[in-house]
Amino acid sequence: MTARVAIVGATGAVGREFLRILEEREFPLDDLRLLGSSRSLGVRLGFRGEAIPVEEMGLSSLRGMDIAFFSAGSSVSREHARSAADGGCVVIDNSSAFRMDEDVPLVVPEINPEAGKRHAGIIANPNCSTIIFVVAIHPIWKMSGIRQAVVCTYQAVSGAGAGGIRALQREMEGAQSDGEVFPHPIAHNVVPQVGDFSPDGEAEEEAKMERETRKILGDPAIRISSTCVRVPILRAHSEAVHLGLGRALSPEQIAIALRVAPGVRLVDDPAGSRYPSPLPATGGDDVLVGRLRRCRAFENGVALFLAGDQLRKGAALNAVQIAERCL
């Protein structure tokens, strides 16, 4: 079976990654439509040796399409996704527009592929920090349950899109921060704000990590507290994770489970200074997990460090895997 596929937001940081991944994985498509805003008119993007023109997104752009990967922000998804789904196109949405809607499955194929099969036209791709987190903790959660998690993230500027990459590159060349993408300078700095703050001081990204993890695992009792931090690197997010388990597991038992877990690569050789970090995670499909050890702050506590390419597994790759495994 081949499909007619559209990428909405094809010129963005995630959109361009979609093109690479569809090509690498030889996704069975017989028509590829690339859509963006009027700013992208005249742009052509390469795919399988062809230069495909980007069209301006309009009301009829998705007519006749079987699958649309939406990657143009929540407002574009809210405006177009439901009508595309009503017209028979399956929407796989990268934005946060529908993630918590009851009729929209929130899917990580290594964890809950069956949920994706029960869609009503829209399937949501989780937040990038959440995807790489759940891929790493799911094997542990299956063995022992997880009562609580404390997570600190180190998030690459490309998590804020192509504008985030440009902002860091400009500042590294000496330009002043213009405050457009990040609220403070990002070169030679870290910024403990990813998204807007709620009245109680939690940033949007931090709230997403708890509510989306609960929905993906189907575990409303898990308590997650996170601090999400933007760091001056171009690509791949990292996370320091501390877990309180439902029953005691040794780091060795966890390592055995992670070694065979889909989507995970155990990189854990403290004596050889081998552990996950963003550079080796960049461009790869797996979430790297290491620094496995006991955590004394929690009963049955374990700690780990992970790194994953958030433009791939945290966004485009996960969405393509949903199309491959759930449709």
Ligand X SMILES: NC(=O)c1ccc[n+]([C@@H]2O[C@H](COP(=O)([O-])OP(=O)(O)OC[C@H]3O[C@@H](n4cnc5c(N)ncnc54)[C@H](OP(=O)(O)O)[C@@H]3O)[C@@H](O)[C@H]2O)c1
Nearer to ligand X, 207 or 266 (CB): 207
Pairing of strands 301-308, 237-245: antiparallel
Does 128 engage in binding with ligand X (CB under 6 A)?
yes
Binding marks (x or -) toward ligand X, 263..302, rule CB under 6 A?
----------------------------------------
Residue from 89, 237, 295, 326 carrying the catalytic annotation: 237
Closest-by-Cβ residue to ligand X is 12
Using CB under 6 A, which of 315, 317, 322, 323 touches ligand X? Answer: 315
Enumerate residues 6+ apart whose C-beta is below 8 A from 282: 235, 236, 309
Closer by beta carbon to ligand X, 2 or else 75: 75
Beta bridge mates, 84: none
Pick the closer one to ligand X by CB: 244 or 314: 314
Q: Which is nearer to ligand X, 145 or 280 (CB)?
A: 280
Give the strand order in the sheet containing 50-56. Answer: 44-47, 50-56, 29-36, 3-8, 67-70, 90-93, 122-124
Closer to ligand X at the Cβ: 57 or 222?
A: 57
Q: Which of 105, 109, 161, 301 binds ligand X (CB under 6 A)?
A: 161
* Residue among 80, 89, 119, 128 flagged as catalytic: 128
Is position 129 an interface residue for ligand X (rule: CB under 6 A)? no
What's the token pair of residue 87?
């017209």
Residues 26-65 that bind ligand X (CB under 6 A): 36-37, 39-40, 57
Give whole-number Cα distances, 255 to 134, 247, 261, 300, in Å.
16, 16, 10, 16
Please select the residue that binds ligand X; options are 71, 153, 213, 238, rule is CB under 6 A.
Answer: 71
Known catalytic residue at 89 = no
| Residue that has been written with the tokens 């809950």 in this structure | 112
Q: Which two tokens stand for residue 292?
A: 């496995």
Active site residue 237: yes
Instruction: Point out which span in 135-143, 154-162, 239-247, 274-282 binds ligand X (CB under 6 A).
Output: 154-162
Please return the burial class of 48, using the count of CB atoms within 10 Å of its CB with bins 0-12, 13-18 and 19+.
exposed
Q: Which of 239, 314, 320, 322 binds ligand X (CB under 6 A)?
A: 314
The yes or no reply on residue 76 touching ligand X (CB under 6 A) is yes
- Pairing mode, if any, of strands 287-294 and 301-308? antiparallel
Judged by CB under 6 A, the residue of 3, 52, 162, 257 near ligand X is 162
CA distance 323 to 56: 24
* Angle at 182 (CA atoms; ends 10, 278), nearest 5 degrees: 70
**14/295 with CB nearer ligand X:** 14
Least gap, CB of 38 to ligand X (angstroms): 7
3-state secondary structure of 223: strand
158 binds ligand X (CB under 6 A): yes
Q: What is the 3-state secondary structure (H, E, C) of 88-108?
A: CCEEEECCCCCCCCCCCCECC
**b/e map of 98-130 (b: 16 or more CB within 10 Å)?**
bbeeeebbbbbbbbbbebbeebebbbbbbbbbb
Whole-angstrom distance, CA of residue 191 vs CA of residue 197: 13
User: Binding string, 1-30, against ligand X, x = CB under 6 A?
Assistant: --------xxxxxxx---------------
List of residues contacting ligand X (CB under 6 A): 9-15, 36-37, 39-40, 57, 71-73, 76, 94-95, 128, 158-159, 161-163, 310-311, 314-315
Residues classed as catalytic = 128, 237
